[in-house]
Chains A and B, each alone.
Chain A
Amino acid sequence: MPLEPELQRGGPGGAAHHSPRPLSQTDPFIRVENVSKSFGTFQAVKDVSLTIEKGEIFALLGGSGCGKTTLLRMLAGFEDPSAGRIFIDGQDMTGVPPWARPVHMMFQSYALFPHMTVERNVGYGLQHEAMTAAERRDRVREMLELVQLAPYAGRKPHQISGGQRQRVALARALARAPKLLLLDEPLAALDKKLREQTQFELMNIQDKTGVTFIVVTHDQDEAMTLSNRIAVMDKGQVRQVGTPTDVYEYPASRFVAGFIGAITFFEGVVESLGDTARIAVPDFAGPQATGTVQARPTAGLKPGQKVTLAIRPEKFSISRHRPEGPNVLAGVVRDLGYFGKDSLYRVALPSGGLVSVHAVNARRAGEAERVADWEDAVWLSFDPSAAILLGE
């Protein structure tokens, strides 16, 4: 269940830093210009353009095979774009090999060198820097302290835990102070508890170092909590770029709405437009409801046009008594999942369609007195601002 992103970002990560920054149109730190990549006849990345600001945590989010990893590998220099160009800090990266890029990567498997100690792993990149041995040692120490691994300097990678390996990989990637750090599924190999803790640690470290992070992930929660902005990718294309709030609350397409968080779609027709749009939704019609709802209009809608109305489960209110308000539906509880702090209902509408409703159990109630039970007739309502209109 996706939580409100604003809530999660208030965690111990020191969230003030993580408010979205305004985009300066003049000099983006990273510019991906119409980049495509084909492997034989398969087009992994199709005409992607992105700009990423300095100091941002930017997430590339998508399912497997969406092209996010290929895009990351092109940024690192392991793959050359078939078309288009990548600029990092104003420098055209075309033809620049991985070892000459101011970019370091944290690999999904961590790719620690098994024959070297933690210390030598972290210091590996520093051999290419003009430093004295003492300076190098100090830098390694500093990095190990940053990730709280100083006592483990002499261990080999197989002698430390998965979470510690992840931090060694991070320290190694940060040791040469890259301009850009690429993180390939940084939390995927960790168990749930460690993942939450590491998430905030990553944000803290990004905050301290100021390095720009690009995170590849298939996990929407990870993308939402970690990043300032998210690019949602599908079939090699970027479908939407925006802050976590943007992509969650204002998805630009049915794909993005469905990919991020849970949502229920209804087909409808625009009846009238104005301060609020009136939409006829056949699914909502029934003996006790008119089937016309009010929603906040989006640009480009015309009366008579077919639209998709999308509503997230937590935007509904559920009650036994008919509430006041413009958008009220009647239904029957078909399924009920009780999670303690909240409950998930599947409510059948008169038309037969099922709606997911997610309600916080704010009131302390026993089983007999809870809001609704299996096969109870209930009323659902939602605010006109809660409905997303997608005029695809």
Chain B
Amino acid sequence: MKTTTADKRENWFNRRGWRDVIIGAPYVWLIAFFLVPFLIVLAMSFATRTPTAPPFSFGGDHPLLNPEGYARLFQDDLYLRAFLTSLMNAGFATLFCLLIGYPMALGLTRIGRGWRNILLMLVILPFWTSFLLRVYAWMGLMGSNSWFNKLLTGAWNGLVPVDWAVRSIPMMNSNFAVVLVTVYTYLPFMILPLYANLEKLDRTLDEAAMDLGSRPSRVFWDITLPQSIPGIIAGGLLVFIPAAGELVIPSLVGDAGRPMIGRVISDEFASARDWPMASSVAVALLVLMVLPMMAYTHYQGRAEGRERAEGRQ
């Protein structure tokens, strides 16, 4: 058998070592930049706060595990309230991203090729401008002296009875502002996975449903929506998880009296220098975010396994 250059190259690529490197690289990355830092945070959450540098130690009354941080999560309602505010803001933001993003994603799949690429480009375009700059722009828009606020105020005052008239609409420093800016920021993360999902759907199925007597609205509920659930879940997770831990948006436009959990973690670390407490909150947030995802994955896997088993009968 002749050995050509191409064969040699193939052999070189097929060597076991290379395969291991290629498979191993992501694992190394995840271990070094996710698992190890997470274990450090987890360990720190069980440490005891000290006035030293670094400001924690293992020892004292609780030689190894100090559950004080976790206990305080439930004792001080600051944390529970922060969690609730975070979940609520993230929940509303996800809901509105879905309500705005779904029609946009669906529209993208129904439009001609040429326009589609331009519009997809426009969805991604905001990422080319600094995120901070865009949040500041919103602060400007929502401020009581902005043309935007004046326009809305004018419209409000024109529509409601005189008693309800206001000088300006208080938008800044509220949960409303947090949700608004979060929706604005994370909308592409909802649109893109939804678009990827909807674009793959077979339009013949829509025709089949119409052929069997369903109007287009019915076709949407019966055919399009059920098949797009994986896209909704993917987009929802991509918006909900970072939105719940969001620090910058609530710091800049949020209600300082009702902090979100990201702000709490940041304050515990930086201002209070209570690293174990900050770590406890961070671990609690992670568990809160990961559990529903794991439950979903588990359930999904079981449902698929069941279908496969039935298919084999």
Binding site for B on A (CB under 8 A): 76-78, 97-100, 103-105, 107, 109, 111-115, 124-125, 127-128, 154-156, 158-159, 172-173, 176
6 pairs of A and B residues whose beta carbons are closest in the complex? A159-B311, A125-B212, A111-B208, A128-B213, A111-B204, A98-B210
Residue of A nearest to B311 (CB): A159
Main DSSP-derived SS at the B contact region: helix
Let me know if B213 and A99 touch, CB within 8 A.
yes
Asked if A99 meets B310 with Cβ closer than 8 Å, knowing A107-B204, A109-B202, the reply is: no
Cα–Cα, bound, A124→B226 (Å): 14
Binding site for A on B (CB under 8 A): 202, 204-205, 207-215, 222-223, 226-227, 307, 310-311
Let me know if A128 and B202 touch, CB within 8 A.
no
Let me know if A113 and B205 touch, CB within 8 A.
yes
Apart from A107-B208, A111-B205: 16 A-B pairs, beta carbons within 8 A: A76-B211, A77-B211, A78-B207, A78-B211, A99-B211, A99-B212, A100-B213, A103-B211, A109-B204, A111-B208, A113-B209, A114-B205, A114-B227, A124-B222, A125-B212, A176-B212
> Which residues of B lie under 8 Å from residue A128 when comparing CB positions?
212-214
Q: Which of A77, A78, A113, A154 has the most CB of B within 10 A?
A: A113
Let me know if A115 and B227 touch, CB within 8 A.
yes
Cα–Cα, bound, A176→B208 (Å): 13
Cα–Cα, bound, A128→B212 (Å): 9
Cα–Cα, bound, A156→B209 (Å): 17
Asked if A155 meets B213 with Cβ closer than 8 Å, knowing A111-B205, A111-B207, the reply is: no
Cα–Cα, bound, A158→B304 (Å): 12
Partner of A156, one of B202, B214, B222, B307: B307
Cα–Cα, bound, A127→B222 (Å): 11
> Which residues of B lie under 8 Å from residue A109 when comparing CB positions?
202, 204
| Count of inter-chain pairs, beta carbons less than 8 A | 68
Let me know if B310 and A98 touch, CB within 8 A.
no
The 21 sampled A-B contact pairs (Cβ below 8 Å) are: A76-B207, A78-B207, A97-B215, A98-B207, A98-B210, A99-B210, A100-B213, A104-B211, A111-B204, A111-B205, A111-B207, A113-B208, A114-B205, A115-B226, A115-B227, A128-B214, A155-B310, A158-B307, A158-B311, A173-B211, A176-B212
Q: Which of B209, B212, B222 has the most CB of A within 10 A?
A: B212
Cα–Cα, bound, A127→B310 (Å): 27
Tell me the smallest distance from the CB of B114 to a CB of chain A, in Å.
15
Cα–Cα, bound, A76→B211 (Å): 7
Cα–Cα, bound, A22→B214 (Å): 36
Cα–Cα, bound, A159→B306 (Å): 11
> Which residues of B lie under 8 Å from residue A98 when comparing CB positions?
207, 210-211
Residue of B nearest to A101 (CB): B211
Q: Which of A98, A115, A159 has the most CB of B within 10 A?
A: A98
> Which residues of A lie under 8 Å from residue B310 when comparing CB positions?
154-155, 159
Cα–Cα, bound, A96→B213 (Å): 12
Let me know if A105 and B311 touch, CB within 8 A.
no
> Which residues of A lie under 8 Å from residue B215 when comparing CB positions?
97, 99
Let me know if A124 and B307 touch, CB within 8 A.
no
Cα–Cα, bound, A128→B307 (Å): 29
Cα–Cα, bound, A126→B96 (Å): 35
Cα–Cα, bound, A325→B310 (Å): 68
Residue of B nearest to A169 (CB): B208
Cα–Cα, bound, A100→B213 (Å): 6
> Which residues of B lie under 8 Å from residue A100 when comparing CB positions?
213
Tell me the smallest distance from the CB of B224 to a CB of chain A, in Å.
11
Let me know if B227 and A124 touch, CB within 8 A.
no
Residue of A nearest to B229 (CB): A115
Tell me the smallest distance from the CB of B308 to a CB of chain A, in Å.
8
Cα–Cα, bound, A298→B70 (Å): 100
Let me know if A155 and B210 touch, CB within 8 A.
no
> Which residues of A lie under 8 Å from residue B214 when comparing CB positions?
99, 128
Cα–Cα, bound, A292→B252 (Å): 101
Cα–Cα, bound, A332→B261 (Å): 94
Tell me the smallest distance from the CB of B157 to a CB of chain A, in Å.
46
Let me know if B212 and A124 touch, CB within 8 A.
yes
Let me know if B227 and A105 touch, CB within 8 A.
no
Cα–Cα, bound, A128→B214 (Å): 8
Tell me the smallest distance from the CB of A117 to a CB of chain B, in Å.
10
> Which residues of A lie under 8 Å from residue B211 when comparing CB positions?
76-78, 98-99, 103-105, 173
Residue of B nearest to A156 (CB): B307
Cα–Cα, bound, A103→B211 (Å): 7
Tell me the smallest distance from the CB of A168 to a CB of chain B, in Å.
12
> Which residues of A lie under 8 Å from residue B209 when comparing CB positions?
113, 124
